[in-house]
Structure 1
Amino acid sequence: MRTSEADLERMSLSRLLAVAGHVVAMRWQRLMGSYGLTPHGLAVLASLERGSALTQRELAKRCGIAPSTLNHTVDHLERSGWIERRRDASDRRLVRLALTETGRRQLKQAEDAAGSQMEPMLDHLRPADERIVRGFLLATVLRFQTMDDEDASGDPARADRF
């Protein structure tokens, strides 16, 4: 069921941001699904492309994904041939995840599709507005990540914030 424009205009900014995030996330999910990826899968491939092989724990933290969700995602990506598990050369107990060449190609296709199908949906923004929206979203993401890190640290002084 669609929310009317009048209802959207009456929402608090935080609720409107959540609704906007959900609507965009659903579109991303459909697009990535057409490439055999979930948004988490895309985040994993992109993270592995930017750096060296990572442990699942490192990858979960970098992507902001719960370890249990990451297990499922990693299994799917490995079965698809997009990532591989490798034993750490200096500590054989550690398993590191690495992007395969096939995974690199899959990531490029998905990112190209996002650029050609998602970015044009933002053509209603003027360049000056885009800078403002980008600044707001960046500050919001960083603030929420910091708050999540503080919550995870177990600081009781932060527990009653909400």
Structure 2
Amino acid sequence: MSDTPAAPAPLGPTPGYLVWRLANKWRTAVDQALAPLNLTHAQYVLLASLSGMERSGRQPSQRELADHTGLEALYVSKLARSLEAAGLVGRARDTEDTRVVRLALTEEGRATVRPAIDTVQVLLDQLLIPLGGLDDRRTEDFKRTLALLLDTPLGPARESR
């Protein structure tokens, strides 16, 4: 037994629990909403991100898309292969570095991603109603907070000296 008093139990759910629940709620809602389009949340993330990058004039590599989405590079490779087999994405070796695989939406991919983005936008609008909607100051504050949390490095805890 230790002489150190136990930390008091937190009242209510922890922030980590709430983040986990919101992430799961969002993924499930997106999966259900995109099922009629035969897309999963992960496939949507890849297609919508690729669409946005292409609109800005980029043809990203699988690694760049992985970094952009936060998905593991191996998972992006697997998703890209399945989306290529479905005719939604083209994969091509980079002309300067053959180790690099560049991705591009096909015409069918562009035709598929637009209604998917519209569908997810409806969900996002629903999610943000309690904050006053997409254009409300509270939503902007929420986005800044989420970005700050996403930019905070995580890793093994270090001992204090």
Q: TM over 0.5, yes or no?
A: yes
Matched, 1:107 2:107: no
Matched, 1:144 2:150: yes
Q: How many residue pairs align between the two structures?
A: 145
Within a 5 Å distance, the mapping from 1:18-97 to structure 2 comes to 18-49=20-51, 50-51=53-54, 52-97=58-103
Superposition misfits of 4+ residues, deviation over 6 angstroms: none
Shift of 1:138: 3.5
Shift of 1:15: 1.9
Percent identity of equivalent pairs: 28
**1 CA distance for matches of 2:48 and 2:127?**
22
**Which has the larger Rg?**
2
Q: Which runs of 5+ in 2 are unaligned?
A: 1-10
Residues 67 and 92 (structure 1 numbering): CA distance in 2 closer, same or farther, change over 3 Å? Answer: closer
Q: In the alignment, which residue of structure 1 is the partner of 2:4? A: none
Shift of 1:97: 0.9
Greater helix share, structure number:
1
Amino acid at match of 1:27: A
**1 CA distance for matches of 2:86 and 2:24?**
27
Q: In the alignment, which residue of structure 2 is the partner of 1:5? A: none
Shift of 1:130: 4.1
Which has the higher mean CA deviation after the structures are superposed, 101-110 or 136-145? Answer: 136-145
Q: Which runs of 5+ in 1 are unaligned?
A: 1-8, 152-158
Which has the higher mean CA deviation after the structures are superposed, 69-78 or 88-97? Answer: 88-97
- Contact kept, 8 Å, 2:125 with 2:134, in 1: the verdict is no
Shift of 1:78: 0.6
Amino acid at match of 2:73: P
- TM-score in terms of structure 1 length: 0.73
Q: CA RMSD in A?
A: 2.8
**1 CA distance for matches of 2:128 and 2:84?**
33
**1 CA distance for matches of 2:68 and 2:95?**
22
Q: In the alignment, which residue of structure 1 is the partner of 2:5? A: none
Q: In the alignment, which residue of structure 2 is the partner of 1:156? A: none
